[in-house]
Amino acid sequence: MSGQRTLTLDVFSSIYINLTHSDEMFLFVLQVKELVLDNCRSNEGKIEGLTDEFEELEFLSTINVGLTTVAHLPKLNKLKKLELSDNRISGGLEVLAAKCPNLTHLNLSGNKIKDLSTIEPLKELGTLKSLDLFNCEVTNLNEYRDNVFKLLPQLTYLDGYDKDDKEAPDSDAEVYAEGLDDDEDDEDEEEDLSGEVG
């Protein structure tokens, strides 16, 4: 199997149910790079079936799933973009550095984040470039933007804007373009290999 693997909730549910019945399905899960679970319901802070077997996962979206914590996230070493908006998360972000050490984009908008100390553990995410806290109470603090950029010096964008209030490029288009570049590189490598004489 080659190419980008994206999974949405209804497909995810059937794969989870059939995991123990099919080695082929299991291999498919291992290759999934994007997983969208928006609007599904978490069970006691856990999303059933989301395990560290998704080792190739680079993008995970769990918008409006009722999460109150990220403590139950599996270890996802390759995860770069995590969408957690419109949940009820109010703390416990220190686990992200251990579970998602290569995170570059984190969206926590619409959660119950009230103060800077809650986001302070994100200092440990050295690769974090973009953080979104839109519609969180913390955004009402005096000098919010300046203080977040001081607290998290690795950030390039906060709520979609850099320190100079320049808007971030459309990250979805960026990720898509990067994917195209990767696919072209793969095709070039395949052509090089097929042209070799053994």
**Residue of 87, 65, 82 lying closest to 122 (CA atoms):** 82
**Residue of 63, 100, 67, 55 lying closest to 83 (CA atoms):** 63
* Residues 55-78 as b or e (16 or more Cβ within 10 Å = b): bbbbbbbbbbbbbbbbeebbebee
Q: What is the mean pLDDT of the chain?
A: 81
Q: What is the pLDDT of residue 42?
A: 84
CA distances from 133 to 25, 150, 157 (A): 36, 16, 11
Predicted confidence (pLDDT) at residue 32 exceeds the cutoff of 70 = yes
Considering the domain 6-191, what is its CATH architecture?
Answer: Alpha-Beta Horseshoe (3.80)
DSSP 11: H
Q: What is the pLDDT of residue 170?
A: 74
Each domain of the chain, given as residue ranges in start order, spans: 6-191
Q: Taking the complete model, does pTM exceed 0.85, yes or no?
A: no
- Reported confidence tier of residue 115, pLDDT bands at 50, 70, 90: very high
Q: Strand ranges (DSSP E) for 115-178?
A: 130-132, 157-158
Please name the helix (run of DSSP H) or strand (run of DSSP E) that holds residue 29, with its range, or none.
Answer: helix 23-31
- Reported confidence tier of residue 1, pLDDT bands at 50, 70, 90: very low
Q: Which of 45-54, 77-86, 137-146 has the least mean pLDDT?
A: 45-54
Q: What is the pLDDT of residue 47?
A: 85
Q: What is the pLDDT of residue 45?
A: 78
